[in-house]
Chains A and B, each alone.
Chain A
Amino acid sequence: MLALKDIWAAELIIETNREVGFEMSNDNSIDQVRQAKRSWIEKALKRPVERQFSDWGHPVDALYTPDDLADSSYTRDIGFPGQYPFVRGVHPTMYLGRTWTMRQYSGYGTAEETNKRYRYLLEQGQTGLSVAFDLPTQIGYDSDDPLAEGEVGKVGVAVDSLKDMEVIFEGISLDKISTSMTINAPAGILLAMYIVVAEKQGIASEKLRGTIQNDILKEYTARGTYIFPPRPSLRLITDIFEYCSKAVPLWNTINVGGYHLREAGCSAVQEIAFSFSNAIAYIDAGLKAGLDIDSFAPRISWIFNTHNKIFEEVAKYRAARKVWAELMRDRYGAKDPKSWMLRFHTQTSGVSLTAQQPENNLIRVAYQALAAVLGGAQSLAACSFDEAHAIPTEKSVRLSLRTQQILAHEAGVTDTVDPLGGSYYVEVLTRKMEDEIKKLMAQIDDMGGAIAAIENGFIQKEIEARAYAIQKEIEGKKRIVVGVNEYKVAEKVDSPLFKFDPEISRKQIQKLADMKASRDGRKVQEALDALKRAAKGEENLMPRFVEAVREYATLGEICNVLREVFGEYHAVGTL
């Protein structure tokens, strides 16, 4: 396989030979623009202006003009929406055809409460569900495990067994909605539960639409809910790819995340380069397992982070679509255009929200949501303004949904495709971003790929260093955070915060005990034994998960079998 730097070096040679003229008319040649710009700089820019820098440290000019795009070819480098290289969007009509999916991330406490919140959000016009699981669920512990103490139902809903999933989706027809589940290490097990819930509703798995996150590599570097070491984790992922390509063909089998990397400290460039490098590792594992690229690449989806700098975020998405399309076509030889398309969900940046003057977060979220839509997102979650304090209340999450609805119906940003395309600044940023992303991806490629770059601590150290640098900039007031280091007021937060029911854990443990008393223990044991044999061998584990959850084997029981066979991951120390 060609190294990335070789593919992209070849392309650089082409670039230097490309035809001149980005939308220039003859009577307005590049030379004339250059000359006029020089005299404008001399005459108009008499006082020196303070140089601004992009999010990844690149100097930004005071003004961009057609000469900045002199060597760009519209048809080759930018092209049309729905066509390679998809700079202007993955669909020909974008939001004129269908607006983005509004999918607020939620789930807390018990299955019953989560079910109630979902029905509320669907009634309010939300168009997809997004399940937040609590930490014990994400790390494969049952609610009665000593390590789960104090954590049950806190950051999401607790799921111990199929029983809980049945309650979460009660009264919601699984063939009518798409469901995104933020679950990684035990993703296959939760998907198996969803399949069985559908089966009980009389819905075939072939009809199910949704997403599992299933992106373990970013858990090692940024999010922390890993269980098993990389190698068996990648096997679980390829098992899911293979199983779903036949049994759940509409399911997005992996949702590769830049979001969490960005939250942990990455720049916009690092967000894309690191998440793409992780995706390369998954693709290579899939190919090594004998899968055809076009059998699983179209089901790869993405979650990115839309941060504060509006134009950079738009450029990031435009550049990312192009880099991905090239990678899939040129490196992997994917033939299906669906394999080339970068389809993504994005959430506005949680880390940009402040605990101080929390109402200011409404404004931040609105700008970020605007950037997401101008960037061509397929699906969006807008953070809630009270998130820096607690889980959002019903009212604050409704405001987030309304923020999206105002964008979709009132702001006019959906009237044409890629409205910022052709902006000198955005086009220049898009190209710069493309170059920087490729440079960093080639660096990781040279190290031996994402797994090597995680094992040697490179990615973690890069993220850590930038997070610390930003903190120093904030403390030195080189970076203004409104309400935090400038424009401060003495205040007490007076917005009503979400109140956590202290009884949740006790109730959940009781439910788990009742469920265990009512199931057929012998069948559970048989299913777990079969799973263990399969895990030791090479057969696909997904059918084993489906059998085990159908018998109400718990998530913890299933994960413990896998822990026994696969072992557990221990983090690489970087501090």
Chain B
Amino acid sequence: MNRRIRVLAAKPGLDGHDRGVKVICHGLRDAGMEVIYTGLRQTPLQIVTAALQEDADIIALSILSGAHDYLLPKVADLLKERESEHIVLIAGGIIPEEDIPSLKQKGIREVFGPGTTIAEIVDYIKSSLS
């Protein structure tokens, strides 16, 4: 790959828990990726617009508020609408196991729960883009 992997990390919705996403931003940067963090309270439209502007390879969404069932598919739908499904959409946070299959069906490629290591996420991102 000629250029560094570009990741847009975002907090969709009103959730203020950003410890996890910030840790992951630092970790992915240390792994050699370019990371743009949107900060809190992003709407799905703001996230997708930013990802396209930044020419992101990956959108990493962090959500711990329980609103994943509504917000994550919205982001996936907007990517489809913009014909940008090449951008790999991944998510992490407090997302119950039983919600994961339907999220995957709707276009979220992988969901990382509590206890995931940064190394696992780095490996996943690299393999998903190769």
Contacts and interface: CB of A to CB of B under 8 A. Distances in A.
A223 B19 contact: no
Contacts of B114: 354-356, 388
A389 B96 contact: yes
B52 interface: no
Contacts of B71: 150
Contact of A265 (B19, B25, B118): B19
B101 interface: no
Interface string B6-18: 0000000111111
A573 B18 CA distance: 13
Contacts of B39: 571, 573
B86 interface: no
Nearest to B43: A147
Nearest to A573: B39
Contacts of B16: 135, 219, 223-225
Interface in B97-130: 97, 113-115, 117-119
Interface stretch (B53-61, B62-70, B77-85): B62-70
A575 interface: yes
B22 A390 contact: no
B26 A497 contact: no
A571 B40 contact: yes
A354 B113 CA distance: 10
Contacts, number: 94
Which among B43, B65, B66, B113 has the greatest number of chain A C-beta atoms within 10 A?
Answer: B66
Interface string A462-480: 0010011001001100000
A388 B18 contact: no
Interface in B10-49: 13-19, 22-23, 25-27, 35, 37, 39-41, 43
A464 B66 CA distance: 23
A467 B23 contact: yes
Given A464-B22, A573-B39, A484 B14 contact: no
B115 A467 contact: no
A12 interface: no
A150 B96 contact: no
A356 B117 CA distance: 13
Interface string A144-170: 000111110011000000000000000
Given A135-B15, A224-B16, A154 B67 contact: yes
Interface of A: 135-136, 138-139, 141, 147-151, 154-155, 219, 223-225, 263-265, 351, 354-356, 388-391, 464, 467-468, 471, 474-475, 484, 492-493, 497, 500, 571, 573, 575
Interface of B: 13-19, 22-23, 25-27, 35, 37, 39-41, 43, 65-67, 69-71, 94, 96-97, 113-115, 117-119
